[in-house]
A and B are shown apart, each in its own frame.
Chain A
Amino acid sequence: MSDLRKSLCLHVGLLAILFVLQFILPAYHHGNLARIMVLAAYAVGYNILFGYTGLLSLGHALFFATGMYGMGLLINQFGAQPASALIGGLFAGALISFFLGLIALRTEGVAFMIVTLMFAQAGYLLILYFGAYTRGDEGFVIQQAERMLWNINLSNPTIRYFAALFVFSISMLATLRLVHTPFGRVLIAIRENEERAQMLGYDVFRHKLAAVVLSGTIAAMSGAAYGLLFGYVGASFASVQYSIFPLLWVLLGGAGTVLGPFVGTLFMFYLIDLSSGITSAYMLIAGITLVLLTLFAPQGLVGELRRRVFRWLP
């Protein structure tokens, strides 16, 4: 079996397993997995920019929150239907990422990190500033009655799970496809050696901008989906820790791999959940685990697998 076929089988296989799990998992883990899948989509989006293009952004919470608030405000303030609200959130995310890309891509390295961080902070503060509409840090609820997508009740656990699976599948399959296209390969080339890519005649800026927009839009989709599926829109999702989380999930799972973001998100979630059952000092366990992981599994969990065993993993 060719590498391409193998990787396709693996990824579609994962989606199939997730599909089947819907019917098997006990209620608690079922709910968890729905959340994990939506957040994993966020991580996948982040990975496109970080893992594949090599640009470390510290401001992705801006895109996540734009999607979430775009969707939420359309429903809350304008009484829109969920379908249009979702599209609105997505569109807002794409727009913001386009403009941010235009500005921030003039910098690189640490300056890029700080510029993205600053815009994310400004976004967070703007949410607080317009508290009259956004309810600031408290956030607002999207009532169950409003979460009916074409007569499908999104707050039903089964429907919610499938919706989350759908969101995750789109982002993962998109990334899988991307990696095998010329466009994706140029992104990797830019990550490896930007000057060489430029000398080879590729329009590096346009590629990077496209990566930012793609990454930001997927993040926005994840944010909009999270708000809609779980019924709450709040400023805490725009804070700096939600920019750090996808970085953490991706690095833990394996940057530059397609499965890495999902594995990282799943791992961190259960690490915190299980350790909080043992001790209230679960962040200590999380911290120690992170340190151990970087010492002994520097490429992330999936990355190590790729390095040592399955070299064909994309």
Chain B
Amino acid sequence: MEFGPYLMLATLEGAVTAAVLSLTAVGLSLVFGVMRVVNVAHGEFFMLGAILAWWVTSLIGGHPALGFGVAILCVPVLVGVVAVATDVLILKKINYDPERTIVATIGILYIIQQITLMSYGPDARPIEAPFNTRLALPWIEFSGGQPQLYWPWGLSTTTYKIGVIAAASVVLTGVWLVMVRTRLGLVMRATQLDREMAMAFGIPVERVYALVFGFGAALAALAAVLIVPIQQAHYLMGGDPLLLAFIVVIIGGLGSLPGTVFAAILIGVSDGIISVFFSPTLAKILATLLVALVLVFKPNGLFGARRA
């Protein structure tokens, strides 16, 4: 494929990755930013979202759009509830101590993974997308000095992938609006800025924490529901999203939601584009080292203003 169309394809694919990644990462960023804890089980909430989506759609049957619609509405809530339970039962009791939280969330990771393995099993199962038609995309070439449209071989995307990008954008805008325009968002930001002051102002910090934890997990689950018609639901699928989400949050800068989104787009799209130029494994090596180097020179991330 010629270079131009290839780049466009890689960018589109990267945009889908970035869309899902930004949702997951924003969820993690909220938890990280407000509660200052490393939730190693964040990827498992992502996985739970996918598994529950499969479960809901296979229960409902009928037209795929029906099952999917129900899934996208209730699965994030379900996962959010599980997360709140985890917070209240475990994390609160250990006082959100950073080291203890790491161990506790590793334990929770094992528990969730194993329960999924025991009930859902080890197979990877697909879900049908609610709508999915192939769209051939045009490219412009100059012939005889005039720009002309033509349809390069293989340059295509699907309506569902575009739908994912659109849905993610809508949700992210919604989250931003909540954070910036509503009282709830104000309370969350206040708690993030200074926990003691927030308590002094009568903000029920513990409840805010539970809410944020649940909300963060719900966002990850939503991302998973969106991606699962493209990928499959598998009990080990939480590992990569966790890693990537962490990187995105740190690179974007702690406590900066726009930074997180920017970093997600950067990492998601560049992953696709670098592989245009280099062999895939080499591309991954370079991308990994690049992330490390960004952090070395900008330890607070690209947009971070506070110390980690």
Contacts and interface: CB of A to CB of B under 8 A. Distances in A.
Q: Do chains A and B touch in the complex (CB under 8 A)?
A: yes
Contacts of B109: 287
Interface stretch (A99-107, A138-146, A148-156, A212-220): A99-107
Interface residues of B, number: 44
B70 to A, nearest CB: 29
Nearest to A290: B107
Interface string B281-305: 1101100110110011101110000
B285 A281 contact: no
B100 interface: yes
B108 A109 contact: no
A49 to B, nearest CB: 14
Contacts of B239: 240
A128 B111 CA distance: 30
B299 A108 contact: yes
A286 B281 CA distance: 34
Binding site secondary structure of chain A? helix
A247 interface: yes
Contacts of A114: 246-247, 250, 291-292, 295
B104 interface: yes
A89 to B, nearest CB: 22
Contact of A251 (B102, B108, B246, B307): B102
A21 interface: no
B103 to A, nearest CB: 5
Interface string A131-168: 00000000000000000000000000000000000000
A247 B90 contact: no
A48 B182 CA distance: 47
A63 to B, nearest CB: 16
A287 B108 CA distance: 6
B38 interface: yes
B285 A125 contact: yes
Contacts of A103: 292, 296
B239 to A, nearest CB: 8
A290 B99 CA distance: 13
A183 B138 CA distance: 66
B173 interface: no
Interface string B227-253: 000000000000100010011001000
Contact of A287 (B114, B247, B301): B114
A287 B97 CA distance: 18
B102 A247 contact: yes
Question: Dominant SS at the B interface?
Answer: helix
B110 interface: yes
A44 B108 CA distance: 25
A294 B289 contact: no
B191 interface: no
Given A293-B103, A298-B100, A283 B114 contact: yes
Interface residues of A, number: 41
Nearest to A102: B296
B57 interface: no
Contacts of A289: 107
Given A125-B285, A284-B111, A286-B110, A118 B103 contact: no
Nearest to A288: B111
Contacts of A1: none
Contacts of B246: 114, 117
Contacts of A298: 94, 97, 100
A170 interface: no
Contacts of A244: 106
Interface string B110-139: 110111011000000000000000000000
B31 interface: no
Given A118-B247, A240-B243, 14 more contacts: A104-B296, A106-B296, A111-B300, A114-B292, A117-B246, A118-B289, A119-B292, A247-B102, A284-B111, A288-B111, A291-B107, A294-B104, A295-B94, A298-B97
Closest 5 pairs between A and B when the two form their complex, measured CB to CB: A287-B110, A290-B107, A287-B111, A118-B292, A109-B308
27 contacts: A104-B296, A106-B297, A110-B254, A110-B308, A111-B299, A115-B295, A119-B288, A125-B281, A240-B243, A244-B106, A247-B102, A248-B103, A251-B99, A251-B102, A281-B118, A283-B110, A286-B107, A287-B107, A287-B108, A288-B107, A289-B107, A291-B104, A291-B107, A293-B107, A294-B103, A298-B94, A298-B100
Interface of A: 56, 103-104, 106-111, 113-115, 117-119, 121-122, 125-126, 128-129, 240, 244, 247-248, 251-252, 255, 281, 283-284, 286-291, 293-295, 298
Interface of B: 38, 90, 93-94, 97, 99-104, 106-111, 113-115, 117-118, 239, 243, 246-247, 250, 254, 281-282, 284-285, 288-289, 291-292, 295-297, 299-301, 307-308
